[in-house]
Amino acid sequence: LSIHPQESTTKNKDGSHLAETANPMSATDEEMDDQIKSATADDMEDLIESAEEASDIKKLLDIISTCSHHRHQESPEDWDVPSEASLDSFYRVIKGSRSDGGDSILELPMNTRSKLMHSLQEWREEEAIVEVALGCIAAVGSQAEENFDETVDGIDVELIVNIMQTYEDESAIQEQACLAIKGLAEASEGLKARLLEVEGMGEELKAAKDRITNERNKKYVGQAAAALGLEL
């Protein structure tokens, strides 16, 4: 498998296009394990299991990016299962690495958030993948990421609001989207400012409170608003 820079385009609910986002995979192609680059969809199960057992989040991110790359290649339907599985593994590793203070003891490699957002973008029509991708973004929260200032500008924060609108009847996605917004806002003042510039952000958070069916989890809306400095 030879990875080349690729751009992908997402659409708003009304059919208009969001900004194009470059595939973050291209920047780290030379560092990626040859075994991952040449793997088929069927090969991914063993690679994912091995990476999770080793708590190797860089390798998991490379697998996530490989699956995203194949979204627009031949037989993309073969790659939805390993895409979801690799995101699930990443989520478990991050959540399982929490210290007593609540922060992960694992260092986030460069492009962590960019690769997770790119996966969300590429698989936005697959509900199960959308939910777990948002969960991963929420799980890393505000944790420090290597050279984050070099990649933060490529993160399309508007995508999360559009996902909330697309899946307005899916309570779990609304919950994870709110937590993802909270994490991104706390990770970077620049991301916080860009989130506040997204048209309808406040209204979407207010709507999410009604869309979330678990009363206990409605608090996630308030947490997202507080991270943004918004009063709902």
Q: Please report the pLDDT score of residue 137 as a whole number.
A: 97
Residue 100: the pLDDT is 55
Q: Given CA atoms 36, 38, 42, 43 in this order, what sign does their dihedral have? A: negative
110 pLDDT exceeds 90?
yes
Over residues 45-86, the pLDDT tens digits come to 999 999 999 999 999 999 999 999 888 776 767 899 999 999
Q: What is the mean pLDDT of residues 216-232?
A: 96
pLDDT per position as a tens digit, 153-197: 989 999 999 999 999 999 999 999 999 999 999 999 999 999 999
- Residue 104 pLDDT: 60
pTM (two decimals): 0.84
197-214 residue pLDDT tens: 999 999 999 999 999 999
